[in-house]
Structure 1
Amino acid sequence: MPAAAQPSRRHFLALSAVAAAAAACGRATASSGGGTETRKLRYQGTVGQVTLPELAEDLGYLGDVKLEWVGNTISGPQDIQSAATGQTDFGGAFNGAVVKLIAAGAPVKAVISYYGVDANLFSGYYVLEDSPIRSARDLVGKKVAMNTLGAHSEAVLDTYLQRNGFAAGELGRVERIVLPPVNTEQALRQKQIEVAVLGGILRDKAVAAGGIRPLLSDFDLLGSFSAGTYVLTNRFLKANPTTSKTFVTGVARAVEWARTTPREEVVARSVEIVRKRGRNEDTATLQYWKSFGVAEPGGRLGDRTFQIWIDWLTTHGDLKQDQLKAADLYTNEFNGYGS
C-alpha cells in the first residue's frame, strides 16, 4: 500500500459509512406531502463568502424557490455528506470527493459545477526562491503542505508526479502534511516544509511579499477545468423535479452572470449580500475575488469533469478498475441554461 494512499483510504471508509447511512435511512427532504414539491432548500454556507446559489437567489434567478441557511460548512466532503444524509438538501465538494461518496453507495447525483480552475483561480505549489527543488524528482523526501489529504491538492500532486515518471508505488516517497492555509506560507518561509500549496488571497499575498517561486500549478498542469460540483439526492430529484430545475438553472445563470459582469460589480454585489444577511462577517477577502473558475457554459457537466479523479482513485486502489462510469455520476437534465 503506497503511503500516500493511506489518508485517502481512511477518508474513503468514512464516506462509506456515510453512504451506508444515507442509503439506509433515505432521510433526504423529498416533498412536503401530497405530491406538492418543496420550494425551500436547506444548505450550508461559507463564512465571509458568497456561494453561487446565494448569488442566484439575490439576482432573482431562483424565482419562488428559497434558500434556508442552516450553518456553515467546514469542508466539501462534510457538505456533501450532509446532503446525502438529509441534513441539507444540496451540498458541494471537490469532484474526487463526489466520486468517493457515490462509489461508497450514497444515492446522490452531481447536477452542476460551482468552482474550478482557470488563469485567475488556481492553486500553486510554491518553494523558496533559493530552493534546489526544480523538478518532480527533487521532491523525493520533501514535505509538501496542503489543506487536507485525499482531495484536490493531493490529487494534483500525484498527477504531476506520475506525469514525470513516478510509478504508483513511488508516490509515497513525497511526504504530504496537513497545515491550515493561513499557516502554510509562514511554515515555508521558516523552512519547516519545502513546498506550500497556496491559492486565492493567501497566494496573492505570499507572491507579493516575494522570496518564493512556483514549481507548478493545477492550471499549468491541467488547464481550465471545473473542479467541484453540487449534488442532490436521487430521491429529492425524483420528488422535486421542478424545484430541482429551478435551482440548477438559476445557479447556471449565476455562473454566467459572474462570468460576463465586470469584476468590480460582482464584488460589490457580493459585499452587499454578506452585509444584508447579518452574520457579522468580514467582507475584506471578497475584494480579492477574481473568478468562480467554472469552465463549461452554465456549469454543465461532462465525462471529463469526473474521469481524471476516477483514474486517480483507481491508481490509489480506492476504486476497482471500471467500477464506475463517469456518465453515471451526473445529470444535466435539470440544467435548463442555453436550452
Structure 2
Amino acid sequence: MKKMLVTGLMGLTILALITGCSVFTQKTADDDKPKFINGKLTKEFHLKVVTPTSFNELIIADKKGFFKEVGIIPEYTGSAPSGTLAQSVIKGDNHLFGSGHPSTIAAARKAGAGIKIVLHSMVDDPDPDKMHMTWFVRRDGAIKSAKDLVGKKIAMSGLGSCAEFLNGDFLRRNDISRDQVEIVVMKDAQQEQALRHGFIDVAIVHPPYNKIAKNRGGLEVLTTSYEIGELAGNGALSGLAVRAFSEEFIRDYPDVVKAYIVADLKAQQYINEHYEESLQVAAEFLKVDVKDMAGNIYPRQQWLKDEDIDFWVKLGERNGFFAQGEIKASDLYTNELNPYYKGELQ
C-alpha cells in the first residue's frame, strides 16, 4: 500500500509538472504574439498576401504607410489563381483572402473551407473608369442587344466567379437560359484580342482591361456590372469585394486582424479622397502606364452590413448557384474584430 501510494504521488507530481509546463508553454506562446493596443500592434507581424496584379487598396496601404503605422509588414507571395486562393488561405500559404466577393466566400464555405469575411472592400460605380466589369461586343458585330446572345460565345475569367453570377442575372432578366450560350473561360488579359479576332462574341472584363479596351475603340458596351446591379436592387453592391481570413487565423491572431482592418480602412478612404494620386501609386507598383490604370472606389462605412452580404446571397439563389436558404449572410462575416464596430476606436 505504501509503495502504491508513493508511486501514485510520483505520478501526480509528474502529471502536475507536465501540465504546468504545457500551460506555461501556451502562456509564453500567447504572450509572444503581437497585441493590438492604442490602434497598433505591440510588435511587427509579417502578413502573407498574394501580390496584387491590378488596382487594390493593399497597394495603397503598403506604399502610403498605413500597414507600417499599425505594425504590419506585407509579405507578397506571388500570384495565385482566384479559384485556389481560399485553399491557400486555409493551408496558411497566404494569410489574407484579398480578392473576391461574398459569393466566393459562400462557395468556399459551402465546400467546407473555414473562412470568414472581416471587412468590405471596393464597390461598383457608374463611371466607366471605376466600374467593376464591362460587357464588350464588337462595333461591327451582330450583337446589338441581349436577344442576340443566343448561340454566342461569352468569355469570363472563371466559373463560379463574379462574372458568372452577374452574367447569369443578365441572361435571366432577358429570358435567356445558360444552356443557350457558350461560356468560355479566359483570362481578362486575353479577352479583348480574342473578341477583336472573332474567337469570342462577348468579353466580360475587369479593370484595367475594360479601360484599355475602351481606349482602343472599335468596341461597344452591351451592359455593365453596375447596370445589372441596379436592376437587382443596388448598383454599387454589384461590385462589392470583401477581405477574409481563415477561422483558424482569426482565432490565433485576432489582434493582427484588428490591425489589418484599421490599415485597410485608412487606405480605402485615402483612395476616395486622393483618387488620381492613388492611380499613380498603383501604376508604379504594377509597372504599367498610368493612362491604362483604372481603379475603384470604396463605401464610406467602417464595418460590414448584413444587407451588403445578402445582396450576393440573393443573387446566387435567383440564378441557381445556391439553393433557397442554403446560405445565410450572417454566417459569412463577422464584425467582432472590427475596432470601430466594437467601439475600441472612434
User: How far apart are 1:296 and its partner, in Å?
Assistant: 4.4
- Matched position secondary structure for 2:243: strand
Question: Is 2:211 aligned against 1:204?
Answer: yes
Kept after mapping to 2: 8 A contact 1:50/1:270: yes
Tell me by how many angstroms 1:201 deviates: 3.1
Deviations 1:58-93 (CA, angstroms, capped at 9, x unpaired):
433333522342522323332232112222221123
In the aligned structure 2, how far is the partner of 1:50 from the partner of 1:193? 26
- C-alpha distance in 2 between matches for 1:293 and 1:253: 13
The equivalent residue for 1:249 is 262
Match among 58, 77, 83 for residue 53 of structure 1 = 58
* Secondary structure in 1 matching 2:116: strand
1:6-50, Cα deviation, whole Å (9 max, x unpaired): xxxxxxxxxxxxxxxxxxxxxxxx998234424424323335556
DSSP-derived class of the 2:113 partner: coil
Secondary structure of the corresponding residue to residue 98 of structure 1? helix
> Residue 180 of structure 1: which of 175, 187, 190 is its match?
187
Unmatched runs of 5 consecutive residues or more in structure 2: 1-25, 35-43, 230-234
The aligned amino acid for 1:109 is K
Q: Give the structure 1 partner of residue 288 of structure 2.
A: 284
Question: Are the counterparts in 1 of residues 66 and 263 from structure 2 also a CA contact under 8 Å?
Answer: yes
Cα distance in 2 between the residues matched to 1:182 and 1:130: 22
Of 111, 116, 119, which residue of structure 1 is paired with 2:123? 116
2:99 is equivalent to residue 93 of structure 1: yes
1:127 matches 2:140? no
- Give 2:299's aligned residue: 295
Residue 125 of structure 1 deviates from its aligned partner by: 0.9
1:260 aligns to 2:273 (yes or no)? yes
Per the alignment, residue 277 of structure 1 pairs with none
Alignment of 1:218-233 (within 5 A): 218-222=225-229, 223-225=235-237, 226-233=239-246
TM-score (norm 1): 0.77
Report if aligned partners of 2:59, 2:282 keep a CA contact under 8 Å in 1. no
Distance 2:214 2:27 in 1: 49
SS at match of 1:267: helix
> Please, which moves more after superposition, 98-107 or 35-44?
35-44
Query: Is the 8 Å Cα contact of residues 128 and 189 (structure 1) preserved in structure 2?
Result: yes
Contact 1:89 1:232 in 2 (8 A): yes
Q: Percent identity?
A: 23
One-letter code of the match for 2:256?
T
Contact 2:97 2:243 in 1 (8 A): yes
Q: Which residue, 18, 39, 47 being the options, matches 1:42?
A: 47
CA deviations over 1:137-157 (Å, ceiling 9, x no partner)? 221111011222220111111
- Structure 1 letter corresponding to 2:246: T
TM-score normalized by the length of structure 2 = 0.76
Please report how far the alpha carbon of residue 262 of structure 1 lies from its aligned counterpart in structure 2 after TM superposition.
4.4
TM-superposed deviation, 1:56: 2.0
Which stretch shows the higher mean deviation, 142-151 or 69-78?
69-78
CA distance in 2, matches of 1:48, 1:153: 18
- Relative to structure 1, is the Cα distance of residues 122 and 108 closer, same or farther in structure 2, using a 3 angstrom cutoff? closer
Give the aligned CA root-mean-square deviation in angstroms: 2.7
The structure whose Rg is larger is: 2
Letter in 2 for 1:267: L
Matched, 1:217 2:224: yes
Q: Secondary structure at the match of 1:236?
A: helix
Letter in structure 1 aligned against 2:297:
G
Kindly provide the amino acid, as one letter, of the partner of residue 48 in structure 2. Y
| 1:82 equivalent in structure 2 | 88
